[in-house]
Amino acid sequence: MKKIVFTGGGSAGHVSVNLALIPLFQQLGWETAYIGSHQGIERGLIRPLSDVPYYGIASGKLRRYLDWNNVKDPFKVVQGTWQAYRLLGRLRPDVVFSKGGFVSVPVVAAARARSIPVVIHESDVTPGLANRIASRFAKRICVTFPETAEHWPDGKAVYAGAVVREELRQGVASRGYAFCGFRPGKPVLLIMGGSLGAASINRVIRNSLQELLPHYQIVHLCGEGQEVPELAAEGYRQYPFLREELPDVLTMTELVVSRAGANSIFEFLALRKPMLLIPLSRKQSRGDQIINAQSFLKRGFCEVLEEEELSKTAFLAKLRTLNDHRREYLAAMETSERTDAAQTILRVILEESDKE
């Protein structure tokens, strides 16, 4: 029986592609396992899968600010690499697949030391530091945006397109309405600030409820511990996050306000949901979300509001534009290329595992 080890973490986006691929390998009869950090978000997302054993290792983090942990974290990476090396020696997988995030770097380096083929996936237009490091040890690199392939001129990159979790396509609007206590006939606006929430987006939404609620029913995914119970109102629902209910809620949704993580925005594109994207600023990130959002803006899929310009007035104006031109965004989305990214990545992984 063949075996594959998945890795990736730090955010839900670094796990969602793995969650889409794991069932495909299990259907082929492969054994699957996951290596992530001890306390990262990936642990909570993978642990419910009873047939995917989870192994935690030490992991560092890249911070774009002065912090004492920046001195300590390189030692964690070394420790994590040794732990991953021992785990891979015990698990003996035929291939390792990495979605990215800094927990993946020790695993990919250890796989190279064990002569285990590695395939990685890059969601954003420009590769992050973790994947730039990991790419040195990888046999192949699957990319979501065609232009991303230019970052690896040696032919390693394969354009796959966006991986969309199949369960998101199985939502039922009536279940979404029942779950939220909403009624058909009034548009649903979904607010998503990323897997950890977004304080600036939460604040603007809550300050705008008086203007929004006459026109929309609102589902606000505000992040763990960021609910404000005293703001309970008819047509306004707050949740830290959604899992099983998300497909149904997305199906009933007409407009989305979101950060601009690549996995999320491609899922909205596949589901034909016009978006107002509020990307993380360069002060908060390496700027990848800004580039993602601009790519979608040029293709007519969304409106964009920069973090530095985020205010109640600017937000309401952009949302009004999105709603007024909703049919135009939907028409542009219908022209987007449909790819079977999961099958492309599956093929690449199988090819590399067969070479060994």
Compute the distance between CA of residue 182 and CA of residue 200 in angstroms, rounded to an integer. 26
135 — phi, psi (to 5°)? Answer: -60, -25
- The predicted pLDDT at position 66 comes to 47
- For the ranges 36-50, 61-75, 102-116, 256-270, the lowest mean pLDDT is seen at 61-75
Residues 134, 187: one domain? Answer: no
SS3 56: strand
- The predicted pLDDT at position 90 comes to 96
Full residue range of the structural domain in which residue 349 is found: 3-161+339-355
Record the pTM. Answer: 0.80
- For the ranges 160-164, 262-266, 285-289, 350-354, the lowest mean pLDDT is seen at 285-289
Residues 182, 312: one domain? Answer: yes
Q: Is the pLDDT of residue 197 over 70?
A: no
* 228 and 207 Cβ atoms separated by less than 8 Å: no
pLDDT interval class at 145 (50, 70, 90): confident
Residues 124, 241: one domain? Answer: no
Compute the distance between CA of residue 257 and CA of residue 279 in angstroms, rounded to an integer. 10
Residues 311, 206: one domain? Answer: yes
Strands of the 31-37 sheet, one edge to the other: 54-57, 31-37, 3-7, 95-98, 118-122, 140-143, 157-159
Tokens 């991303």 locate to 148
How many helices (H) and strands (E) would you count in the chain?
A: 14, 13
Mean pLDDT, rounded, of the chain: 90
Tell me what the mean pLDDT of segment 74-97 comes to.
92
- Say which CATH number the domain at 87 has: 3.40.50.2000
Residues 43, 124: one domain? Answer: yes
Residues 139, 15: one domain? Answer: yes
Tell me what the mean pLDDT of segment 132-146 comes to.
91
